[in-house]
């Protein structure tokens, strides 16, 4: 900001959403520390992302426990705390048919920077409500991004905005960041690329993208798109040069995401652990040293202190080998640990189902186990819900997943898949060797994310009003910690997979294709 002001310019600072989940520093206070940091950084606006709904009501519960609970209570509390607006132009209240009307949540905002009016619009991915806890968003819907952007941008332009910036919780993946004009390494089917192609040329100047945790620094159909990975590891930048007389953008310059660290390899911007053989040097940006912002440090200090203490808490278990989430045909050592933990946490639970490839975000390294290491595996505060399904309903849930690559993790049963011509047959087998019959009623344990609609896993059998949750097993993370401590004091990965009894027995690699 200081460098830009020297030439009469200014900075618009925006975020593409998913502000809160994934760190203990945030989760311990439902994102309050994040907003404290963003206030100190003087953000202009942020988009709402799918994970920003995850905390649910304000307080310990992640979903409403009574009709009086506001399913967006925590999100609204963070919007109230912010000195900048939360933006969403394509999130609709199903009851009114209009964009949601919550305090400090808007479709767009206008800021004046260096005498230039910049309109900022927020939108979220079309799939947003399928990848958060459904119980917190079941009365909402998402409209097409390009339509919402075009309508709002046209209105802002008519009201005098010179620049239009979109904060989009939707993204793309580009593998070559060397030439902003060459977008050939960006997948044309990726959501934000399709949105850029669908917008009238010249209507939008910049899109700040997100959601997929990748990098973009390209100009597509005249729109500069910037996406800078995730978790605050980097920032993106687009420079706009504006003719003050005509109030037109005459040039755009895109920069590859810049990683944030205090020390780098000499002559580069490479971050990471400092190698002993080639000591790193202090990092600089535009000729100035990179240093922590003390205002931000003060704002988050209490949260950092609390989280540091909890992360370091020993669990009394030593892992003799790493336990990795390497998923082969639906089964992994880490996935098995968690699904078994789900069953142990819920008395009467017979079958556990988990989204191993999406719900487990890190491996467990060898060595003494701490709370922080388990938190890194499952950073979301999901609770365990239990409800009954028939054997037929269970097969209706699992069979469609066999035709994709993300096969859910199982506990309490084995699944044997065979092909008879083009017909796929799924047999579910109990630990005693007896089959789960279609007429059997079994208690299923899973995360609240999946139970309430996440990934549409249970969609084929979900009742109109949702499942009747018969038991709450506490948080999935706490269940995993209890299971680890029960198995301790030492544990190896090979103790978690039985090659003689695979939980998924498939006729070939996933996805399963019969008759081909």
Instruction: Check if the beta carbon of residue 218 is closer than 8 Å to that of residue 201.
Output: no
Model confidence pLDDT, tens digit, residues 338-361: 999 999 999 999 999 999 877 888
* Per-domain residue ranges of the chain: 2-256, 314-505
Report the phi/psi class of residue 240: left, alpha or beta, with left for phi > 0 and alpha for psi in -120 to 50.
Answer: beta
Mean pLDDT across 54-62: 89
Tell me the percentage of the chain whose pLDDT exceeds 90: 73
Q: What is the pLDDT of residues 393-423, one digit of tens each?
A: 999 999 999 988 789 999 999 999 999 999 9
pLDDT at 54 over 70: yes
Q: Which helix (H) or strand (E) holds 258?
A: strand 248-259
pTM of the predicted structure, to 2 decimals? 0.81
What is the structure's pLDDT at 3? 58
Mean pLDDT of the chain: 92
Please report which helix (H) or strand (E) contains residue 308, including its range: helix 294-311
- Quick one: pLDDT at residue 4? 65
DSSP, res 390: E
Average pLDDT over residues 91-98: 97
Average pLDDT for 142-170:
97
Mean pLDDT over residues 418-440, rounded?
95
Q: Which three-class secondary structure state does DSSP give residue 146? A: helix
Lowest mean pLDDT among 47-51, 69-73, 205-209, 245-249: 245-249
Element (H, E) at 219: strand 215-220
- At residue 315 the predicted structure's pLDDT band, cuts being 50, 70 and 90, is very high
To the nearest whole percent, how much of the chain has pLDDT over 70? Answer: 97
Give the pLDDT band (50/70/90) at residue 171.
very high
The matching CATH number, chosen from 3.30.360.10, 3.40.50.1820, 3.90.780.10, 2.40.50.100, for 314-505 is: 3.90.780.10
Confidence of residue 2 (pLDDT cuts 50, 70, 90): low
Q: For residue 359, which phi and psi values (nearest 5 degrees)?
A: -90, -15
Residue 38 has pLDDT above 90, yes or no: yes
Rounded to whole angstroms, the Cα distance separating 134 from 127 reads: 12
**pLDDT, tens only, 454-503:** 888 998 999 887 788 888 888 899 999 999 999 989 999 999 999 999 99
Instruction: Using the predicted structure, report yes or no on whether residue 240 has a pLDDT greater than 80.
Output: yes
**What pLDDT does 291 receive?**
86
pLDDT at 451: 87
Burial label for 345, CB within 10 Å (0-12, 13-18, 19+), is buried
Interval 292-309 mean pLDDT? 94
Q: Which residue has the higher pLDDT, 124 or 380?
A: 124
Tell me, yes or no, if the two domains 2-256 and 314-505 fold the same way: no
Top-confidence residue, 305 or 138:
305
DSSP 8-state code for residue 450: H
Is the confidence at residue 305, as pLDDT, over 80?
yes
CATH number of 2-256: 3.60.21.10
């Amino acid at each position: 900001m200081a460098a830009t002001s020297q030439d009469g310019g200014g900075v618009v600072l925006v975020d593409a959403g998913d502000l809160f989940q994934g760190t203990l520093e945030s989760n311990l206070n439902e994102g309050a520390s994040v907003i404290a940091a963003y206030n100190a950084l003087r953000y202009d606006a942020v988009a709402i992302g799918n994970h920003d709904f995850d905390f649910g009501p304000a307080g310990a519960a992640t979903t409403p426990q009574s009709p009086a609970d506001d399913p967006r209570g925590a999100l609204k509390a963070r919007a109230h705390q912010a000195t900048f607006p939360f933006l969403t132009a394509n999130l609709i209240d199903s009851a009114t048919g209009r964009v949601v009307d919550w305090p400090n949540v808007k479709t767009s905002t206008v800021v004046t920077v260096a005498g230039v009016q910049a309109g900022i619009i927020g939108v979220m991915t079309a799939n947003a409500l399928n990848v958060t806890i459904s119980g917190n968003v079941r009365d909402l819907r998402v409209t097409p991004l390009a339509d919402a952007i075009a309508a709002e941008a046209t209105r802002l332009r008519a009201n005098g905005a010179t620049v239009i910036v979109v904060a989009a919780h939707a993204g793309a993946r580009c593998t070559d960041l060397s030439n902003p004009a060459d977008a050939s390494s960006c997948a044309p089917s990726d959501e934000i690329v399709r949105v850029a192609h669908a917008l009238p040329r010249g209507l939008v100047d910049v899109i700040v993208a997100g959601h997929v945790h990748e990098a973009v620094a390209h100009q597509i159909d005249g729109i500069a798109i910037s996406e800078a990975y995730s978790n605050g590891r980097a920032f993106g930048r687009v420079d706009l040069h504006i003719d003050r007389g005509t109030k037109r953008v005459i040039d755009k310059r895109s920069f590859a995401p810049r990683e944030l660290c205090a020390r780098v390899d000499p002559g580069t911007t490479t971050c990471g652990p400092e190698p002993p053989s080639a000591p790193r040097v202090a990092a600089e940006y535009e000729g100035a040293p990179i240093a922590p912002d003390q205002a931000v440090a003060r704002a988050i200090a209490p949260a950092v202190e609390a989280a540091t203490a909890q992360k370091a808490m020993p669990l009394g278990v030593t892992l003799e080998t790493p336990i990795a989430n390497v998923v082969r045909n639906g089964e992994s050592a880490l996935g098995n640990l968690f699904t078994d933990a789900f069953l142990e946490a819920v008395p009467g639970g017979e079958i556990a189902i988990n989204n191993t490839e999406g719900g487990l975000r890190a491996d467990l390294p060898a060595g003494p186990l701490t709370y922080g290491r388990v938190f890194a595996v499952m950073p979301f505060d999901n609770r365990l819900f239990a409800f009954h399904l028939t054997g037929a309903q269970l097969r209706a849930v699992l069979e469609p997943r066999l035709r994709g690559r993300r096969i859910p993790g199982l506990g309490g049963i084995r699944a044997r898949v065979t092909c008879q011509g083009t017909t796929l047959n799924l047999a579910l087998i109990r630990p005693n060797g007896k089959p789960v019959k279609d007429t059997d009623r079994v208690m299923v344990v899973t995360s609240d994310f999946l139970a309430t609609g996440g990934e549409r896993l249970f969609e084929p059998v979900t009742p109109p009003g949702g499942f009747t949750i018969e038991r709450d097993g506490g948080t999935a993370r706490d269940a995993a910690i209890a299971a680890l401590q029960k198995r301790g004091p030492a544990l190896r990965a090979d103790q978690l997979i039985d090659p003689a009894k695979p939980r998924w027995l498939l006729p070939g690699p996933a996805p399963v294709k019969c008759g081909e």
